[in-house]
Amino acid sequence: MRSPSELTEAFRAEGLKVTPQRQLLFRLLHGNGHHPSADSLHAAASAQMPGISLRTVYQTLTDLTAMGELRQVSIGCGPGRFDPNIDDHHHVVCERCGTVSDVYVEGADQLAIEGLDGFSAVTPSIVFHGECVSCASLVPPNHNSPKEH
Amino acid sequence: MRSPSELTEAFRAEGLKVTPQRQLLFRLLHGNGHHPSADSLHAAASAQMPGISLRTVYQTLTDLTAMGELRQVSIGCGPGRFDPNIDDHHHVVCERCGTVSDVYVEGADQLAIEGLDGFSAVTPSIVFHGECVSCASLVPPNHNSPKEH
DNA sequence: TTGTTTGTTCGCACGAGTTGCAGATTGAGC
DNA sequence: GCTCAATCTGCAACTCGTGCGAACAAACAA
């Protein structure tokens, strides 16, 4: 995702308006590696701009995704996560706390696939499920429902 | 997933009861390669047993998943899909019609991962997104929302 | 600076998918 | 059959996300 000032230009160039709400979200998302959900982003935004609507957060996330500045990540359960990193990469999810991290996978596009009868133009999304450092150092797995960061 | 009769034994062995509803679902799921959703399974079940509750379908799917006889597949959007194939395999999803198919990926467990800082015991879930044979032969992509099978 | 236009914000209601609950029902062992 | 615990069912509630419309404000021209 581009910088807040570049996004400001890009939005105006597309005839979209640049509002304080959007600028705040640009700042909160730029370089954000936490893969926030709409809800956690709304919480962060509310701290700086009380009253900002969750609806506005969803709207802006949708706009940024449509413009290719943001990517939505499906980690299997819970709310959708948003990723300002639009490089060709994949994700690892902690099964205990729900933390999501970017990983780069060598040869992901050259995998030997068997059973692909007729499917064409396939691109892989890889999600590794495991345990993060801080959770691995805790007591035995108690099968908590994964929570967000 | 084991055969209906084996599941009947397994359920009784765990102190679970074997009801007509469960037996019907065992039959509908055994060898089913369509990755049905709870809803589509309920539709199929209702055809043979009018009045069966969607709640019962969810309950049985949850039980079977907990027993390791079934696996839940996350394809990114739409309802959860269930897969009686518990082999080590992955999935390919048609972006146009939502069809899900099993694929076997060579070397999926030996992928070179960069950025795995501290995560341990990671196992990959790979979902290939593409276009199935029947959709590929249709008119240009019209970005329909993917529907189920 | 003021006015106009058009996109945006926000709150609410709604929708899909799923789960919790409680009363009625029924499988399984005696 | 009888008993009891597990199950079934319908409904309410919940989570996550979207549609809608009135009020609002960015952008631009006069």
pLDDT-based confidence at B13, cuts 50/70/90?
A: very high
The gap from C-alpha A97 to its chain's centroid, in whole angstroms, comes to 16
- Name the least confident of A25-34, A120-129, A131-140: A131-140
Q: Which of A74, A129, A133 sits opposite B122 (nearest CB)?
A: A129
User: If 0-12 CB within 10 Å is exposed, 13-18 middle and 19+ buried, where does residue B73 land?
Assistant: buried
Residue A33 has pLDDT above 90, yes or no: yes
Tokens of B100: 């899900």
Residues of chain B neighbouring A131 (CB-CB closer than 8 A): 119-121
Contact, B52 CB vs strand D, < 7 Å: yes
pLDDT-based confidence at A137, cuts 50/70/90?
A: confident
User: If 0-12 CB within 10 Å is exposed, 13-18 middle and 19+ buried, where does residue A31 land?
Assistant: exposed
Do B125 and A129 make contact, defined as CB atoms within 8 angstroms? Answer: yes
**Region A51-64 average pLDDT:** 98
* Spatial CA neighbour of A36 closest among A14, A63, A10, A58: A58
Q: How many CB atoms lie under 10 A from the CB of residue A5?
A: 11
Direct distance between the N- and C-terminal alpha carbons of chain B, in angstroms, rounded to an integer: 21
Q: If you average pLDDT over every residue of chain A, what do you get?
A: 91
The gap from C-alpha A27 to its chain's centroid, in whole angstroms, comes to 15
**Region B13-31 average pLDDT:** 97
User: If 0-12 CB within 10 Å is exposed, 13-18 middle and 19+ buried, where does residue B57 land?
Assistant: buried
- Chain B residue closest in CA terms to A116: B103
The pLDDT tens digits of the residues spanning B71-109 come to 999 998 899 999 999 999 999 999 988 999 999 999 999
Query: In this structure, are residues B91 and B127 in contact, taking their beta carbons and an 8 Å threshold?
Result: yes
pLDDT at residue A148, rounded to an integer:
41
Contact, A10 CB vs strand D, < 7 Å: no
The pLDDT tens digits of the residues spanning B41-77 come to 999 999 999 999 999 999 999 999 999 999 999 998 8
Greatest CA span in chain A, whole angstroms?
54
Residues of chain B neighbouring A117 (CB-CB closer than 8 A): 101, 133
**DSSP symbols for B23-59:** HHHHHHHTT--S--BHHHHHHHHHHHSTT--HHHHHH
Residue A77 has pLDDT above 90, yes or no: no
The pLDDT tens digits of the residues spanning A36-53 come to 999 999 999 999 999 999
| Cβ-proximal residues to B39 (8 Å cutoff; 6+ apart), any chain | B54, B79
Nearest-neighbour CA in chain A from B48: distance (Å): 31
Residues of chain A neighbouring B117 (CB-CB closer than 8 A): 101, 133
A18 touching chain B per CB within 8 A: no
Question: Distance between CA A132 and CA B118 in Å, rounded?
Answer: 6
User: How many Å apart are B38 CA and C17 C1'?
Assistant: 10
Tokens of A67: 């413009």
pLDDT at residue A149, rounded to an integer:
37
User: If 0-12 CB within 10 Å is exposed, 13-18 middle and 19+ buried, where does residue B47 land?
Assistant: exposed
Q: What angle do CA B123, A30, A135 make, to 5 degrees?
A: 35
Residue with tokens 């959709």: B135
The one-character DSSP state at A108 is G
